[in-house]
Chains A and B, each alone.
Chain A
């Protein structure tokens, strides 16, 4: 650059005030001496002024919004658009946009529907993740169903650690599963979490097909470490779920009780709440899906017959504090509900693979406590007669005294149940006759459920009466399959003696047993309570609460009465008279959660269409006597194939955990 050019550059810098003091002084001296330089400087100043005076525009007021929106869009879609593109927005962009949309659609489809190879990789990755958590050394099998989580021992244990206020305590005799001694349990790991969980099962495991199990001592040694890892995995899982906006956090017991009282509980929360949330609960497990299905039908018939709202899976209606309700758990449950409502498939045909039988479900009943006792009695009767493993829990604690009652009844059940089935009397029980529950008869397909609506005490009483009269049992040839006796485990085909049932169903105040001996006081109490106005469920309330009695040299503990400390179903209603009174406004309600689950799926069982003799796949048979005997004795049950389900090492019922 020429020296003059360099010199003239100083003029622009001088105009802009960008020169240091020394150079500015030099330029000022130059301008003072050189008129041409002064004129040039003046012209440059004018030019700068012209440029500075150019009109200024303002960006759009919504530019910031557009920028933010574009940033969010690009963040979500990963797209990038340059101004050059927008400036040259011509016709060729349109097909490009279409092509991009198609590409995106294909990509989404590819992601949504992974190939078999991708699925396989996911499974492998999932298995590796589980192993990395450290539970891979524990034998496990796939979870029988997602609803098994309701029986998750970890959750139950967590619930137990939290003292929860109780509403009422059903003094329903029952026994914990641990006392029943299932001996085996399914153990699995929750999907994707590495969180081990085990679930008890009543039977139906083919040990020969299951992997090797560690010795019990090894299990105990590893249990503490495993427990800590489970806890950490649980915390991680919960933290992860809390970050998920779609996750519906199950309410804590305290939350649930409080919100329930405030009518803030919604159906979805009930759906997502673990069974352990509820203080008064019945957990039922059965190897025979039909037993569970029958019980669910019985509950539904009673509840539906009494105008109880049904909360489906996606039902998010608020639950009234004094509302009785029940809810299904899965799509299969909904289908089962539809079947039930249509009355076209109330009982699955033998060999019919009904999905409804393969899933667990939960019922949450908020019933007047005067109505709760008959219902619970009916359920207990059904459980006993079908030899279904169950656990009654009141105030978060199992009811130990229930064991004896259930055990006694188990010994009395076969003949007494058959006697009940032979009766032509009116169906008794909670809710009376439901439109969905046709009149009972020995040929009625619903005889099982209806018969079960009689109290177990009635059954026992009838049986004792028959024994006292020396009557023999009827042949079960004319009875439904579900009432027939199965061959004994040892192959003895001899059926247990059956006695004809001749007497009418006992009513309160008419029972000879209620009039005799120590039961007189109880009968008086029953009569007194039965005269009190009752509300809630409508219909014939003829189920009788049988007090403790000594009959036939056997002790029959009270099922519903108050003798069990801490397990009393306070104020349990005692029916016995046909009443249809208005519901008192202040009648307390009791919330009872009933979780039903089968440990055997019909699909996995051997097909035995047209027959009910085989326990596997049977839809009409209770579990066999061998299982029952093993359950009572706490011994390991004989292997039973249920689709390769592996036994687990830890019993997970609450009773087992409580020791």
Chain B
């Protein structure tokens, strides 16, 4: 413990009323919850988990390409986060530290498993024998009610995912962090423990590679 118990004076909202959207979360709320976690308050950590679980899950999902594994990685990331929460430095934001843990969890696990690529989108249950998923579930937020449009969108997304999964891990990670999580270069650099310039170059090369892979789709919109 690093002994930042002064934050305990601030009343901690240990209720579900804490904003579940991590993007709108107040960093001070995170800090208070973290202090409570350090004091052994598991409910506080439960709130933190609920606040960031979707983002961590999507990060893991896009990094590994398998939903079931992504859930395991997410769980593992949160477990490791709490186990090492005493080492969390207050100078950084909690979710960047959490994303770093998640990225490391996924990278370590995939290296151990030797699985470098996964082409399924919605899980192994929907995959065919060749590993390809034929039932892409499009974004539920889609406002296009037409089935043909949704089918086309699913096809496009499948291609994008395939291209994304075709990238090497480093490039895929920076793209997910940047384009899906909308993190800044500095934050990505913090998460990946690389210089910001490296992040910039990786992002450009990743996008260029995707552009080459998705060239038939470009200009269709």
- In the complex, which residues of chain A have a beta carbon less than 8 angstroms from the beta carbon of B210? 47, 50-51
Q: B33 at the A/B interface (Cβ < 8 Å)?
A: no
Within 8 A of B (CB), among A1-60: 1, 8-9, 11-13, 16, 18, 43-44, 46-60
User: Is there an interface contact between A1 and B201, defined as CB atoms closer than 8 Å?
Assistant: yes
- In the complex, which residues of chain B have a beta carbon less than 8 angstroms from the beta carbon of A46? 211, 218-219, 221
A12-B200 in contact given A44-B208, A51-B164, A55-B139 (Cβ < 8 Å): yes
User: Is there an interface contact between A50 and B214, defined as CB atoms closer than 8 Å?
Assistant: yes
- Measured in the bound complex, the distance between the Cα atoms of B164 and A46 in whole Å is 14
A83-B76 in contact given A55-B137, A64-B53 (Cβ < 8 Å): yes
- In the complex, which residues of chain B have a beta carbon less than 8 angstroms from the beta carbon of A9? 200-201, 204
- Measured in the bound complex, the distance between the Cα atoms of B217 and A43 in whole Å is 10
User: Is there an interface contact between A43 and B218, defined as CB atoms closer than 8 Å?
Assistant: yes
- Counting chain B CB atoms within 10 Å of each CB, which of A57, A81, A83 scores highest? A83
Please, how many residues of chain A have a CB less than 8 angstroms from a CB on the other chain?
42
User: Is there an interface contact between B175 and A64, defined as CB atoms closer than 8 Å?
Assistant: no
User: Is there an interface contact between B46 and A64, defined as CB atoms closer than 8 Å?
Assistant: yes
Within 8 A of B (CB), among A183-219: none
- In the complex, which residues of chain A have a beta carbon less than 8 angstroms from the beta carbon of B112? 82, 84
- In the complex, which residues of chain A have a beta carbon less than 8 angstroms from the beta carbon of B98? none
- In the complex, which residues of chain A have a beta carbon less than 8 angstroms from the beta carbon of B115? 87
- Measured in the bound complex, the distance between the Cα atoms of B70 and A313 in whole Å is 54
- Measured in the bound complex, the distance between the Cα atoms of B71 and A70 in whole Å is 13
- In the complex, which residues of chain A have a beta carbon less than 8 angstroms from the beta carbon of B138? 55
A47-B214 in contact given A55-B139, A67-B75 (Cβ < 8 Å): yes
User: Is there an interface contact between A87 and B45, defined as CB atoms closer than 8 Å?
Assistant: no
Q: A316 at the A/B interface (Cβ < 8 Å)?
A: no
> Chain B residue with minimal CB distance to A13?
B200
User: Is there an interface contact between A59 and B74, defined as CB atoms closer than 8 Å?
Assistant: yes
Q: A74 at the A/B interface (Cβ < 8 Å)?
A: yes
A83-B180 in contact given A43-B211, A47-B210, A68-B45 (Cβ < 8 Å): no
Q: Is the contact region of chain B dominated by helix, strand, or loop, or is it mixed?
A: helix
Q: A86 at the A/B interface (Cβ < 8 Å)?
A: yes
Nearest-Cβ distance from residue A139 to partner chain B, whole angstroms: 46
User: Is there an interface contact between B207 and A48, defined as CB atoms closer than 8 Å?
Assistant: yes
- In the complex, which residues of chain B have a beta carbon less than 8 angstroms from the beta carbon of A68? 42, 45-46, 49
> Chain B residue with minimal CB distance to A84?
B109
- Measured in the bound complex, the distance between the Cα atoms of B76 and A82 in whole Å is 6
A58-B54 in contact given A50-B156, A53-B139 (Cβ < 8 Å): yes
User: Is there an interface contact between A67 and B49, defined as CB atoms closer than 8 Å?
Assistant: yes
Q: B203 at the A/B interface (Cβ < 8 Å)?
A: yes
User: Is there an interface contact between A54 and B49, defined as CB atoms closer than 8 Å?
Assistant: no
User: Is there an interface contact between B157 and A54, defined as CB atoms closer than 8 Å?
Assistant: yes
User: Is there an interface contact between A18 and B221, defined as CB atoms closer than 8 Å?
Assistant: no
- Measured in the bound complex, the distance between the Cα atoms of B116 and A536 in whole Å is 86
Q: A66 at the A/B interface (Cβ < 8 Å)?
A: yes
Nearest-Cβ distance from residue A243 to partner chain B, whole angstroms: 15
- Measured in the bound complex, the distance between the Cα atoms of B157 and A407 in whole Å is 105
User: Is there an interface contact between A70 and B42, defined as CB atoms closer than 8 Å?
Assistant: no
- In the complex, which residues of chain A have a beta carbon less than 8 angstroms from the beta carbon of B204? 8-9, 11-13, 44
Q: Is the contact region of chain A dominated by helix, strand, or loop, or is it mixed?
A: helix
User: Is there an interface contact between A64 and B160, defined as CB atoms closer than 8 Å?
Assistant: no
- Measured in the bound complex, the distance between the Cα atoms of B208 and A64 in whole Å is 38
Give B70-88 as 1s and 0s: 1 = Cβ < 8 Å from A's Cβ atoms. Answer: 1111111011001100000
Please, how many residues of chain B have a CB less than 8 angstroms from a CB on the other chain?
66
Tell which of B45, B71, B137, B182 touches A63, judged by Cβ atoms closer than 8 Å.
Answer: B71
- In the complex, which residues of chain B have a beta carbon less than 8 angstroms from the beta carbon of A626? none
Give B134-177 as 1s and 0s: 1 = Cβ < 8 Å from A's Cβ atoms. Answer: 00011110000000000000001100110010000000000110
Q: A71 at the A/B interface (Cβ < 8 Å)?
A: yes
Q: A228 at the A/B interface (Cβ < 8 Å)?
A: no
- In the complex, which residues of chain A have a beta carbon less than 8 angstroms from the beta carbon of B105? 82-83
Q: B69 at the A/B interface (Cβ < 8 Å)?
A: yes
- Measured in the bound complex, the distance between the Cα atoms of B203 and A46 in whole Å is 14
User: Is there an interface contact between B200 and A18, defined as CB atoms closer than 8 Å?
Assistant: yes
Q: A132 at the A/B interface (Cβ < 8 Å)?
A: no
Q: B108 at the A/B interface (Cβ < 8 Å)?
A: yes
- Measured in the bound complex, the distance between the Cα atoms of B76 and A8 in whole Å is 38
- In the complex, which residues of chain B have a beta carbon less than 8 angstroms from the beta carbon of A477? none
- In the complex, which residues of chain B have a beta carbon less than 8 angstroms from the beta carbon of A12? 200, 203-204, 207
Q: B50 at the A/B interface (Cβ < 8 Å)?
A: yes
- In the complex, which residues of chain B have a beta carbon less than 8 angstroms from the beta carbon of A18? 184-185, 200
User: Is there an interface contact between A54 and B74, defined as CB atoms closer than 8 Å?
Assistant: no
Q: B61 at the A/B interface (Cβ < 8 Å)?
A: yes
Q: A314 at the A/B interface (Cβ < 8 Å)?
A: no
- In the complex, which residues of chain B have a beta carbon less than 8 angstroms from the beta carbon of A60? 71
Tell which of A13, A74, A83 touches B72, judged by Cβ atoms closer than 8 Å.
Answer: A83
Tell which of B46, B72, B180 touches A54, judged by Cβ atoms closer than 8 Å.
Answer: B180
User: Is there an interface contact between A67 and B78, defined as CB atoms closer than 8 Å?
Assistant: yes
Tell which of B72, B121, B203 touches A87, judged by Cβ atoms closer than 8 Å.
Answer: B72
Q: A246 at the A/B interface (Cβ < 8 Å)?
A: no
Within 8 A of B (CB), among A421-453: none
- In the complex, which residues of chain B have a beta carbon less than 8 angstroms from the beta carbon of A11? 204
Q: Give me 21 A-to-B residue pairs in the complex whose CB atoms sit less than 8 angstroms apart, sorted by A's number.
A: A11-B204, A16-B203, A44-B208, A46-B219, A46-B221, A47-B218, A48-B179, A48-B207, A49-B179, A50-B160, A51-B160, A54-B180, A58-B57, A59-B54, A59-B56, A81-B76, A82-B105, A82-B109, A84-B110, A87-B109, A88-B113
| Closest 10 A/B residue pairs (Cβ) | A83-B72, A59-B57, A84-B109, A55-B139, A12-B204, A51-B179, A64-B49, A59-B53, A9-B204, A84-B112
Since A9-B204, A54-B62 are in contact, a sample of 5 more A-B pairs with Cβ atoms closer than 8 Å, ordered by chain A residue number, is: A18-B184, A48-B178, A51-B179, A66-B75, A87-B115
